[in-house]
Amino acid sequence: MRAAIAALSKLGRTRASSLWRSEPFGDPAQPWYVNAVVELELRPGADPHALLRELRALERAAGRPDARARNAPRALDLDLLLFGGAVVATPDLTVPHPGLTLRRFVLAPLAELAPELVPPGETRSVAALLRDLDDPLRVENLGPGTEDRR
């Protein structure tokens, strides 16, 4: 995870949440996951599809196969949660991420970085979404993921 955060810093200035250990989504027989949210400052005019390609390249470099079972364990899974205030709906990319407001393992680290952020299409802040969330899966804060990289 820390290596992925460092690799993202090559794309632009980053700010990372703590690392969070979370119960697996889907198959409870899997090991717990480690999650984080990284804010990435890109150049003006950056393209979300180009960023998605960069994320997929990082996943492959970490050993993630292109084909795998849905919600199966994987070395690295990078999701594009938000892209500024943009809304994207194409066959290969949906932003905001469709699971953004439904999963504690996403909202907890996001609330650490941007508690007052109101995602596009929502009326409540990330902190309020987390507070009101009905997700029984547990998350545990493991501490800093990395320092800010400017």
CATH of the domain at 17: 3.30.70.560
The full DSSP string for 78-99 is ------TT--EEETTEEES-TT
| Phi, psi of 14, deg, nearest 5 | -120, 155
- For residue 149, being part of any structural domain is answered with no
| Residue 77 annotated to the active site | yes
pLDDT single digits (tens) 44-59: 889 999 999 999 999 9
| Residue 74 annotated to the active site | yes
| Residue 79 annotated to the active site | yes
Catalytic-labelled residue, pool 13, 15, 27, 64 = 64
- For residue 138, being part of any structural domain is answered with yes
- For residue 150, being part of any structural domain is answered with no
**Number of folded domains in the chain?**
1
Residue 135's pLDDT band (cuts 50, 70, 90)? very high
Catalytic-labelled residue, pool 21, 56, 79, 135 = 79
Question: What is the pTM (predicted TM-score) of this model?
Answer: 0.88
| Residue 134 annotated to the active site | no
Q: Which domain holds residue 87?
A: 2-144
